[in-house]
Amino acid sequence: MSKATNYTARLPDANGFIQYPQNEHDIWQELYSRQLVNLPGRACQAYIDGLDRLALPNDRIPQLNEIDAVLQQTTGWKTAAVPALISFGKFFELLANKSFPVATFIRSREELDYLQEPDIFHEVFGHCPLLTNPSFAHFSHLYGKLGLAASKQERVFLARLYWFTVEFGVISGNNNDLSIYGGGILSSPGETEFVMGDEPEIRPFDLVDVMRTPYRIDIMQPIYYAISDICELDKIAEMDIMGAVNKAKQLGLFEATYPAKVG
């Protein structure tokens, strides 16, 4: 979403091809290699299946038309190249049209473990594999349509729903085995390991509670909300989400469980 950024997206040429320098391909390769080691036993099966379908290159940043060919065939989605950060309105408009925004820059080597703003590794490696999954794709489409029609104040509450599902969602399956489906975790080597440790609190998913939970984008998350299966996103999509927004507004936010940001 729109705020100050330290990055500049690379623009495609007349044929839609984006030229990246070799050092940026090297960063992609390093991130990809690290996450292939980190994700087995941690990422949910739907994500692993989607990663197999996409067959992303491990030695270079993929072109978006390569991603689109798979998404169009599986769920009818496609990507949309965007600047480093976009407005809420543009974000919701793209999702409502089954277009997933992809910022066409990659993080610096100094921010390999965790990045506050979404880069192409976050968007493509973190999110696009699950866009091949019908439940995740349907939830994302509905979310875009709701957000497009929502007021500015309502969008703030909807942002928390996105944060604790698409970005930082986890699954608590049989025997409370934890797995990851949130792209913010899956694309972060540091958070992938952190979420599986003893420090964060894993709460069962509750729609109103999620919308009442404050968060910071610049720290490892102290709280995650767990669904029981990726198909639960279909059930959430059928809930009265805007009604939950109104209830959350009436009840107010929970007290933050993290320290205030300094400076």
Domains and their CATH numbers in the chain: 22-251 (1.10.800.10)
From CA 144, how far away is CA 160, in angstroms rounded? 14
Q: At what angle do helices 241-251 and 152-162 cross, to 10 degrees?
A: 100
Exposed / middle / buried, residue 177 (Cβ in 10 Å: 0-12, 13-18, 19+): exposed
pLDDT average per 10 residues of sequence, the chain (263 residues): 72 91 97 93 97 97 98 98 88 98 94 84 97 98 98 97 98 88 93 94 98 95 97 98 98 91 65
Check residue 112 and give its pLDDT.
84
The residues that are catalytic are 122, 127, 167, 187
Check residue 163 and give its pLDDT.
98
Cβ atoms of residues 125 and 33 within 8 Å: no
Cβ atoms of residues 227 and 206 within 8 Å: no
From CA 12, how far away is CA 49, in angstroms rounded? 29
The amino acid sitting at 57 is P
- Which phi and psi angles does 73 have, rounded to 5°? -75, -30
Binding residues for Fe cation: 122, 127, 167
Closest CA to 138 of 68, 238, 245, 226: 238
Buried b (16+ CB within 10 A) or exposed e, 178-198: ebbbbbbbbbbbebbebbbee
SS3 41: coil
Cβ atoms of residues 139 and 98 within 8 Å: no
- Which phi and psi angles does 58 have, rounded to 5°? -95, -10
Q: What is the pairing mode between strands 170-172 and 223-227?
A: parallel
Check residue 39 and give its pLDDT.
94
Residue 169 to residues 42, 72, 191, 249: CA-CA distances in angstroms? 12, 24, 12, 22
Check residue 16 and give its pLDDT.
87
Place of tokens 């866009």: 131
Check residue 174 and give its pLDDT.
78
Check residue 4 and give its pLDDT.
61
Check residue 261 and give its pLDDT.
76
Check residue 59 and give its pLDDT.
97
Cβ atoms of residues 224 and 206 within 8 Å: no
Check residue 162 and give its pLDDT.
98
From CA 34, how far away is CA 26, in angstroms rounded? 12
Check residue 227 and give its pLDDT.
98
Q: What angle do CA 119, 124, 129 make, to 5 degrees?
A: 150
From CA 149, how far away is CA 164, in angstroms rounded? 21
